[in-house]
Structure 1
Amino acid sequence: MHTETGVFGRSHEVSSRAHEQVVFCEDDRTGLKAIIAIHSTALGPALGGTRFYPYADESAALQDVLRLSWGMTYKAAAAGVDLGGGKAVIIGDPAVAKSEELLAAYARFVNTLGGRYITAGDVGTNTADLDVIGKHTPFVTGRSIAAGGSGDSARLTALGVFHAMRAGAESVWGTASLANRTVGVEGAGKVGSELIGMLLADGAEVCVTDVNDAALQRISQVHPTVRLLSTVAAAPVDVYAPCALGGTLTAASAEAIEAKLVCGAANNQLATPDIEHALNERGITWVPDFVANAGGLMQVAGELRTADPAAIEADVTAIYDRCRDIITAAKASGIGTGAAANRFAERRLDAIPRSI
């Protein structure tokens, strides 16, 4: 039993596999306050996006970066890419605090890690930001095509989620099509918007919610058939697709959900691990987030090795097969899909001797 306090204790709260390194970065001149968490480099350098977010305090930022970096380890392992898991958070409101000088300062901290951590985009950062970061460190991926990168990863992230959802639909309803199914998308950002287009093209009926009214209005203009709701988690939908921030699957929401399938792009969807059991008890299939949303990781991993875009897209489409195998294994073993996905990832991690 771990009784440490501070960073060490927090790391063990997240996972029995402790973090290798956590770096606190501060630059007085630009106001930068960031945390970089490297969970594992067992399979390769730790890759994970930089989240720029106005956390309530440093403790909340630390908890988020620890959970997100752990998730990246499992995401990379399950996706079959030779990368470890890491993540970074910059504390602040990107609409107010973001500047080229601050991003440059952050890039210099990334550079000090010597390639153990490779950054990418996340909530609050975009390809333009990554282009700036790339001027000051080579350890960045997800830059614009003009800057030599592969561009925004939203489409391939959404494509992976779409195929994961198809695998879930096949398990629940016996067909991989979403035609005539109602899907509630929570979050109309870059990935959510791309996913909505794919669902509509497959014949699904879509409703959407977002805390940003402007995002909803953009969806209405592009896809006028989409219904706008104040919430979709408890709406009468077949599929609940969380595509905003994590932690929306709580004890309360698990009891209120009417959907038979939960599959979305958000990271860390379960507020606590026991929520999966609550979903199982109600006959709700959950497609683990770190498997479903790995398309963006596959894209930026492919960028690092200069892979052919068509080959990367084929790998993303194969998320369907991976999710189907995980759901089948879960049923055969009488365990949750999350536990089955963890086993899938851990087989790769445990095959590599632990070392730093």
Structure 2
Amino acid sequence: PSHGAMFYGNPNNGPSIDGVDAGYPCMQRPPLLPNPVVQPMVPPGYNEEYAKWAQWNSHVPMNPTTAWRNQAAAAPRPTPYDRPFTAANRVPYGGRPFVPRGPSSGRITTLGAAAVPSPLNQKNAYDLHYNGPVQSLDFDVNVSSTKLDIIWKAPHVSGQITYEMSVAEGRNFPFVLFFPAHHTRHSLRVKAGMLYFISITARIAANGATVAQGQKEIKAIFSEAELRVLYDNAVKHTGTDMHPFEIIYRCKPKMYWDNIHHNCFGVMEKYMKDDNGQPANMINGVISGLFFSAHLLLNGQLPTRSCFGNVRMMVQAVMFLDPSTVNIYFADFYCFKQAHYVTIVVARKGSDSDIHSQKYLIQLNMRDNPWLKYMV
């Protein structure tokens, strides 16, 4: 045909007469194609996944986020992840702020110099971030029965420091004292015979970091001068009259001796010195021993009674008082039920008790002293 179309017979499209194709030519349509898929227009900088959660931060969400529109609901703004790396935001998460370094001379000479000089900036960084080992803080204590003079040395660290002193009396709750850096000595009022737990801590003033620490356990005992005063008082109360004796004795209740014979195989064990006598005595709770007496009546006879017990054990004095094997020391002077007593320590030479007595007590000459003389 002249118009360029194809014509052909189609029995399904044309009418039929008596089941015979009428021969009406019809043009068949080409097969139908699916509608083209048109991608929605996405504005520049738009992030579908990010927009869903934008309401949880400071960025305004672009609504609606699931339907197409030809323009974003808000002007696109850069996210924190899209910002360029500049010196203005060089602050790592969890780190320290960046401070530009100034000139090495420490003076600000240009507009680009740091607001804080470099050496001082390094010092502040050391103060705030000290992580060195904790040093041992040694301190000395001058002990007496009334006060403790505590002296310590400043630790070798850079930066301003402060001191924290914790003091506990016996089992009581500790109290805390604070001192500035120049304060390295403190006098503490105490009770005679009490035990004190002292701890001194040096800290960086800027952040409280511990740089040094030390602790000691101190008992308020007599100083050398106080013990000498007690010795002089004992000499004044004793006088000059002396009497000879050949035995020393120990008085205890009958049950005490029965327990030794039946349960201790006849051995009288020594025990720790109790708190009898002066509270600040240097042997209380430190050395072990047994008490014996050499007291006689004015007529030279043994006393008929004793406040310490109704059974008396007597021992030859020479067994305990041999100058070749023992040393003797003045230890205490006290009053008990209107009677005055002088405590003399008899220690075997070289023993632990002898070493302790040499350090804290007053040694006596066994042939010339106000209370106990060895005569041959």
TM-score range (shorter-chain normalised) is under 0.3
Task: Return the structure number with greater helix share.
Answer: 1
Q: TM-score if structure 2 supplies the norm length?
A: 0.18
Q: Comparing both chains, which one has the higher relative contact order based on Cα–Cα distances under 8 Å and sequence gaps of 6 or more?
A: 1
Q: TM-score if structure 1 supplies the norm length?
A: 0.19
Q: Who wins on radius of gyration, i.e. which is larger? A: 2
